[in-house]
Structure 1
Amino acid sequence: MSYILDALRKAERERNLGQPPSMQAVTQPSALRQPPRRLLVPLLAGVTLLLLVTMALLVWRHHRAASAPAPVAVAAVPAAPAIAAMPPPADAGDAVSSFDDLAAPEEAAPAAEEPAAAPAPAIAAAPRAGAEPSMPAVAAEEEAAVEEEDSLPLLRDMPAGYRAGFPSITVEVHVYDDNPAKRWVMVNTRRYREGEALSEGPRIAEITPDGIVFEHQGQRALYPIAR
């Protein structure tokens, strides 16, 4: 439309070239220019509105796609196992009769077993392996140890040749217990148990409540411990 108006104005100017302008010529350009302005504004408004609607539609679709929740995989739930139907309860009269039938043999069983009951022969319990000896046995061992200790000569009473060959010792610790495995002594800063030999030579034959029985040169002698 603007091209047509421009062509008309150009033709009018060429036709009126060199003539004084008339009242119609003065007012005609404004009249010709006014319609394009009235048409241009609605056209621009329509285009602008169309662009705004298109942009709004695009923004809405993008926002909807971004806010849509991600699909969640749903695990298949196994079907519940079928429950077998329970048989109907038996009649009360049948239940009572069955209980009576069960109770009757149980009550009759003790009567039948009474004649056959007989006291079992007493069986002596075998001593457990590794068990500690009884008190009488411990007392007997202590008495035997005391008698043997009384019969042994003291180290200081042994012959001069025996004492000369016996090394010099110092007993720092003397521990006696009813259990031989728990007896030990410390001689010359070294710890020994029954049956072990000193580094100097003599062997500890026994640890008694009152001393140490040493075996040296085939003879035993008691080394007394002062209490």
Structure 2
Amino acid sequence: MSFILEALKKSEKNRQKSSAPNLETQHHSSPKAPSKRPLWIGLFVLFVLLFNGVALIWLFGPWQQAKVQPQQQPLSASSHMNTEHAESTAVPVIPQPVTTIETQPTTTVSAIAPPVTPEQPTAVTISELPAHIQQQLPEFTMSVHGYAGDNNSLIRLNNKIMRQGGILDGRYRLEEITPDGAIFSYQGYWFKISRTGR
């Protein structure tokens, strides 16, 4: 009896395959293997977006000085007409004869003093600082050193990007970025940090 039922089911399936699909038709399809292409495209797009974000922060970050240029407003027609009207109604000026007074040149010699420049303290290495100052200093780790010879120089010290005049941890002032490191001041002492750290 079961053989007869199985034969009927097979014939029914064969008949359904040859006819147009309807609501009772069962579709058996093998799942497609996921392609790796969308993953690579997604990672590439993510990388490009991150790179652009970092570039924008770098270019327009808070350490960049805002350069504001004043906008010139065009002259209006009324102001142009006002100047023409003022020129046409101006009272003519009668020139007066000029009298010259001759003066004797003075022959006093004044000593010109050169401009006084404040003396910059000499920067020493951290090991040359007094012991009590050395104990107050943290470990300095310089991971980036970009020297450009002007205010565009920067360093990354203890995971903080700094420019000349910046303050580290609210206590250590970055006085100057040099070709081989940076000079900081703390409590009147100036000390050097090389590109490799202490």
**Which of the five TM-score ranges fits, normalised by the shorter chain?**
0.3 to 0.5
Provide the TM-score with structure 2 as the length reference: 0.36
> When you count strand as a share of all residues, which structure comes out higher?
2
Q: Which has the higher contact order (CA 8 A, sep 6+)?
A: 2
